[in-house]
Amino acid sequence: MIIRWLGHASFLLESSGVKLLTDPFNDRIGYRPCNEKVDIVTVSHEHWDHNAVDTLSGSPRVIRDPGIFEISGYTIQGIRSFHDRTQGRERGPNIMFKITAEDLNVLHLGDLGHVLSAQQIKEIGKVDILLVPVGGCYTLDAADAHKVVEQLQPGIIIPMHFLTPHVSIRELGPVEAFVVQFPRVIKKSCLEISRTKMAAESRVIVLDYPC
Q: Find the Cα–Cα–Cα–Cα dihedral 208, 26, 78, 4, rounded to 10°.
A: -20
pTM of the model: 0.97
- Residues 6 or more apart whose CB falls under 8 angstroms from that of 134 comprise 140, 141, 142, 145, 159, 160, 161, 162, 173, 175, 177, 178
Residue range 42-65: mean pLDDT, rounded:
96
- Using the predicted structure, report yes or no on whether residue 2 has a pLDDT greater than 90: yes
Tell me the C-alpha distance between 191 and 172, whole Å.
Answer: 24
Whether the predicted pLDDT of 199 surpasses 90: no
- Let me know the angle formed at the C-alpha of 130 by 27 and 147, rounded to the nearest 5 degrees: 110
Does residue 202 surpass a pLDDT of 90?
no
- Over residues 42-62, mean pLDDT: 95
Looking at the structure, give the CATH architecture of the domain made up of residues 2-207.
4-Layer Sandwich (3.60)
Q: Kindly list the domain boundaries of the chain, sorted by start residue.
A: 2-207
What whole-number distance in Å separates Cα of residue 100 and Cα of residue 85?
A: 28
What is the per-residue pLDDT for 200? Answer: 86
Quick one: pLDDT at residue 137? 92
